[in-house]
Amino acid sequence: MIQVVDASAVAAVLFDEPEGATVDAHTDGETLIAPHLIDFELANICWKRMRREPDQATALLGMLAGLKSVRIQRIAVPPTEVAELALQTGLTAYDAAYLWLAITRDAELVTLDNRLARVNQALRER
């Protein structure tokens, strides 16, 4: 099955968050895809954590480096269509990029972002 993974889900795995084991088990053996922006979102998550916990910077960078071993196919998404979806849903363009990919690929969206999950569910129930 194809699954679109967002930065919240991948970060949970990379940074050993409590939800990470559940996400890892749910995505194990599946084909994972994401917009190209996922790498920058994960870098930003790491940066925020390093600012909060400067003594953990080296460990956090090591965790982020683990992204190399996560098999995610990066997909280009069309900015105009993403912006339209963002306007329609009230999501950020970043979140709309994941949603657009999931909708157009008829794929499951794996996210820990409650708002994104709710919008995804509402659109699919139409």
Q: Give the domain ranges of the chain.
A: 2-125
Tell me how crowded residue 83 is: count the other CB atoms within 10 A of its CB: 14
Q: Starting from the edge strand earliest in sequence, which strands make up the sheet with 72-75, in order?
A: 72-75, 31-35, 2-5, 108-110
Beta-bridge mates of residue 73 = 33
Query: What does the pLDDT read at residue 54?
Result: 97
How confident is the model over 63-83, as pLDDT tens digits? 999 999 999 999 999 999 999
Alpha-carbon distance of 86 to 28, in angstroms, equals 29
Percent of the chain with pLDDT over 70: 100
Q: Name the band, by pLDDT with cuts 50, 70 and 90, for residue 126.
A: confident
**Domain with residues 2-125, CATH architecture:** 3-Layer(aba) Sandwich (3.40)
Structure tokens at 13: 């795995």
pTM: 0.94
Flag whether pLDDT at 2 surpasses 90.
yes
Q: Hey, what amino acid is at 102? A: A
- pLDDT computed for residue 62 by the predictor: 96
Reading phi first (left if > 0) and then psi (alpha if -120 to 50, else beta), residue 9 is in alpha
* pLDDT at 50 > cutoff 90: yes
Q: What is the DSSP letter of 68?
A: G
Cα distance from N-terminal residue to C-terminal residue, the chain: 22
